[in-house]
Amino acid sequence: MKKIVAVLVLIIAIGCIALAGLGGETTAQTEYLRIHIRANSNSEEDQAVKYKVRDAVVTYLTPTVAECETKEAAYAAVEEKLSAVAQVADGVLRANGYFYGARADLKREEFPTRVYEGATLEAGVYDALILELGSGEGDNWWCVVYPPLCFTAGNGNIVYKSKIAEIVRKFFA
């Protein structure tokens, strides 16, 4: 009996992996909300202010994102604050003598493979908060809004889920 159950679990796991491979997106692409901040240019000054904007935006969004339990909730919460995110960025830019402005938007965008705190996100198209500073033609900074890999404020309360483990647990429940 144990061998039959083990074989069934293995078949289910292989089936899940195969089904995930058939779709255009990986599970990770649909479960993550990323952030992409594009600097005005590659000048030292524009790159330095980009990081000041990053710090201010992360500080501003952390309390909101920390309360979200799903990517959809995080997306909705960030969407409600798009105007405020742009205002936070504009405030940092102006305080530092830059008047080229910032634009915030949510859209789907291509990202390369990236490792964050031990979690690897494969290359692909992800939903993302895009923040362009000025022309947005300079080097950029990106991270993950949900789950809050860049928005943890040091608490490390990140929970990773495994669909295969969930299926196996339900199977034996």
pLDDT tens for each residue of 137-171 = 999 998 888 887 776 544 444 343 433 444 445 55
Q: Which tokens sit at 22? A: 């058939």
pTM assigned to the model: 0.70
Contact 57, 85 (CB under 8 A): yes
Question: What is the Cα 145 distance to its own chain's centre?
Answer: 4
For 96, the 3-state DSSP assignment is coil
Strands 33-38, 102-111: parallel, antiparallel or unpaired by DSSP?
Answer: unpaired
Q: What residue spans define the domains of the chain?
A: 27-160
> Alpha-carbon distance 76 to 56, whole Å?
20
Which residues are 9's β-sheet partners?
none
